[in-house]
Amino acid sequence: MRIKWFSLIRITGLICVLLYHFFQMRYTGGFIGVDIFFTFSGYLITALIIDEFSRSQKFRLRDFYYRRVMRILPPLVLMICIVLPFTLLVGKDYITDLTRQITSAVGFVTNIFEIKTGGTYESRFIPHLFVHTWSLAIEVQFYLIWGFLLYLLTKVSTSVKQFRLRVLAGSALLAVGSATAMYLGAQGLSEFSPIYFSSVTHIFPFFVGSVLGSIAGIQDLMPAFSASVEKHWTKNKALAFMVINLALLFILAYFLRFDRRETYMFGFILASLFAAGAIFGANILHRKTLDVKEPQIFVYLADISYSVYLFHWPLFVVLSKQFSNGIAALLTTILSVIFASFSYYFLEPLLRGKPVSLVGREVNFKQIVTPLGGFMTLAIGFGVFLCLQAPTISSLEENLMLGGIQQDVGKLDMAYAKATAPKNETPVAADQNTGIPAGTTIIGDSVTLGSRSYLLEHMTDVDIDAEGNRTMNLAYDVLMNLQNSGQLRKNVVICIGTNSLDDYQEQTQKVINDLKPGHHLIFITPHDGHADSSYNSYKLGVWERTLPSKYKFITIGDWDQVARAHQEVFEGTDGTHFGGREDASKLYLDCIQDALKRAEKTPVKK
């Protein structure tokens, strides 16, 4: 039995995800499209299992797993085989760690792989081609666990009513437990990807759907629900309820941000509840419009939605490096629809043993065995070739790693030199009145770390302390340690802000207030290639530009302005980092040195 209007739920989820990936700076919360899919899957699977138990008093677990594998695996394998040749259009960074990416995807453990390797959903480096299969991993993990638990429940339940109530109670308990784990896990975090990827913290949308599925199923309904539909719900009321919930999902997707704690405390649970509300409304609308035919375009888009989701991300990652964002989005959509249609309407039915009509001729599985076998042989061979060529880490990550190692070695050399220096050795030049060492101290984040070697080669009397993912509060700690140990030089350059927390003003003000007299303070505005005016990094830059009018000892080096005027130097990067690129490093150096020259014309802090 096909429920009309469920197509709109799937289409909404797909649109949200596509808008987010294509236009991330404008549609910042579209990632909840995945939660819409999660909620719908939880509902559908639970409702179908209850229907099966209601019909036969049995639930065939092996058949359930077989159906899931045949629906999920063929499009996934096809996607990997088709996408890999596209990687020839881009550099090797885009196939970084390809072997583990592929094995994680087909093994349905991408979410675990991303957590273990420190992956981020909003990647700050070269994005993994198959990072989007993290959601598929959680879905399969849900099917394995939930299917087995319901199988056990069928063995100890003596009636459909008892089974349904136990499913309802178990779903509610697991939904609350997982949502609570996400709520608590979000406290104190600045990088939310680990709890986003985790099955424990992000599986609750499935169970929200399961709660609904145990009440308002597909064929076998809870009597109270059935009576309520007949008594209280009209076609117009059901339509309005569905539309309102879908609208709320789009509104939520427009305002949510991946890097905001509120998203994890409330956003995802709201998305799941709105999705459940839309499913509920669609279910009732179906029962009130039995004589109405659903538009075929809705059915078609819903049918291919899963495969479009699979194809769109890696294709967009590659094509967005060849074309403008709009053209890449258009080409990605067209190719994804073509490949998804081929998978759903041709390949998958044949693999399940169903003949397919093609150009007026009937085609069966036996007829495609030879060409399919040849295609798979070529695809596997090409995949092995690419895996052998793939680097373990991207050039950007390698650059940052080397920068960190060189910085650590430099610190050890300085400590050793200081410990073994003769007592009468001439110390670093310092101001006679204040005792503050001359020169410059740069405190930076991963952007600075990537260009650290270049800066040291082209600057004199400079110390650089940089670290990836450093926020202003951590920079403050570094500043205080250097100041208290007498190592903080006269010119203090703060290159922080790409990773900005909500309290960026408060933390920056602490730097300003607690810096001792005798120093120039230079802020280098942060540049994030993905940021718009809603991002904290952008807001920090705007606020920093106001500081020289309030504090005469503060100078601004406007790296964000320079970077936006020279976007060509970020080609092939994530739009923020440029470590290892001499043209970009020179621009960064020029920005810092220009600020230092201007700072020398201003008074030090009194």
Q: Are 66 and 76 in contact (CB under 8 A)?
A: no
Task: Look at strands 440-444 and 462-466 and give their pairing.
Answer: parallel
User: pLDDT at residue 220 above 80?
Assistant: no
The range of the structural domain enclosing residue 507 comes to: 395-599
- What does the alpha-carbon distance between residue 233 and residue 220 come to, in Å, rounded to a whole number? 18
Q: What is the pLDDT of residue 225?
A: 75
Question: Please, what's the b/e burial string for 562-595 (b: 16 or more CB within 10 A of its CB; e: otherwise)?
Answer: bbeeeeebbeebbebbbbbbeebbebbbebbeeb
Whether residue 370 is found in the same domain as residue 507 = no
Query: Same domain, yes or no, for 414 and 438?
Result: yes
pLDDT for 417 equals: 65
423 and 534 inside one domain = yes
Tally Cβ neighbours within 10 Å of residue 344. Answer: 20
Of 369, 389, 409, the residue that ends a domain is 389
Please state which of the ranges 18-27, 146-155, 591-600 shows the lowest mean pLDDT. Answer: 18-27
Count: domains in the chain:
2
**pLDDT-derived band at 573, boundaries 50, 70, 90:** confident
* Residues 447 and 368 occupy one common structural domain: no
Q: How far apart are CA 21 and CA 316, in angstroms?
A: 8
pLDDT at 202 over 80: yes
Q: Tell me if 75 is assigned to some domain.
A: yes
Residue 245 tokens read as 């919930």
Per-residue pLDDT at 23 exceeds 80: yes
Same domain, 524 and 420: yes
Half-sphere exposure of 183 (CA within 13 A, CB side): 12
Final residue of a structural domain among 338, 367, 389: 389
Mean pLDDT of 575-599: 90
Residue after which a domain boundary falls, among 389, 413, 434: 389
Check which CATH number belongs to the domain holding 488 and give it.
3.40.50.1110
Judgement on whether residues 240 and 300 belong to the same structural domain of the protein:
yes
Burial 475-506 (b: 16+ CB within 10 A, else e): bbebbeebbeeeebbbbbbbbbbbbbeeebee
Shared domain for 384 and 399, answered yes or no, is no
Residues 150 and 288 occupy one common structural domain: yes
CA 73, 79, 82, 86 dihedral sign is negative
Taking only the tens place, the pLDDT of each residue in 280-290 is 999 999 989 98
376 shares its domain with 403: no
Region of 359 please: left (phi>0), alpha (psi -120 to 50) or beta. left
Q: Has residue 176 got a pLDDT over 80?
A: yes
Query: Could you tell me the pTM of the whole model?
Result: 0.81
Across the range 230-255, mean pLDDT stands at 94
Map residue 467 onto helix, strand or coil.
coil
pLDDT exceeds 70 at position 5: yes
**Has residue 1 been placed in a domain?**
no
Closest CA to 191 of 258, 93, 92: 258
Instruction: Report strand pairing: 356-358 vs 361-363.
Output: antiparallel
Same domain (yes/no): 380, 519: no
Asked if residue 606 is part of any domain, the answer here is no
67-81, 174-188, 403-417, 563-577: least confident range: 403-417
What is the mean pLDDT of the segment spanning 247-253? 96
Give dist(CA 464, CA 428) in Å, integer.
Answer: 16
- Does the pLDDT of residue 258 top 70, yes or no? yes
- For residues 318 and 90, the answer to whether their CB atoms sit within 8 Å is yes
Average pLDDT score over residue span 73-81: 96
Q: Tell me the mean pLDDT in the region 551-560.
A: 96
Whether the predicted pLDDT of 424 surpasses 70: no
Question: What pLDDT shows up at residue 430?
Answer: 62
Report long-range pairs for 465-469 (Cβ below 8 Å, ≥24 apart): 465/407, 465/441, 466/403, 466/407, 466/442, 466/495, 467/404, 468/400, 468/404, 469/190, 469/191, 469/445, 469/499
Q: Can you say how many angstroms the Cα of residue 73 is from the centroid of all Cα atoms in its chain?
A: 23
> In this predicted model, what pLDDT tens digit does every residue of 455-465 receive, in sequence order?
999 999 999 99
Does a structural domain hold residue 222? Answer: yes
Evaluated on CA atoms 489, 491, 497, 502, the torsion sign reads positive
How long a stretch of residues is the chain?
A: 606
| Sequence letter at residue 13 | G
- Do 504 and 540 contact (CB within 8 A), yes or no? yes
On whether residue 605 sits in a domain, the answer given is no
If asked whether residues 590 and 556 sit together in one domain, one would say yes
The mean predicted confidence, pLDDT, of the chain is: 90
pLDDT given for residue 467 in this prediction: 87
Q: Using one digit for the tens of pLDDT, what is the confidence trace for 344-395?
A: 999 999 999 899 988 888 999 999 999 999 999 999 999 999 999 998 877 7
Same domain, residue pair 44 and 168: yes
Q: Is the pLDDT of residue 413 over 70?
A: no
The whole-number pLDDT of residue 406 equals 73
Residue 181, domain member (yes or no): yes
Q: What is the pLDDT, as a whole number, of residue 90?
A: 85
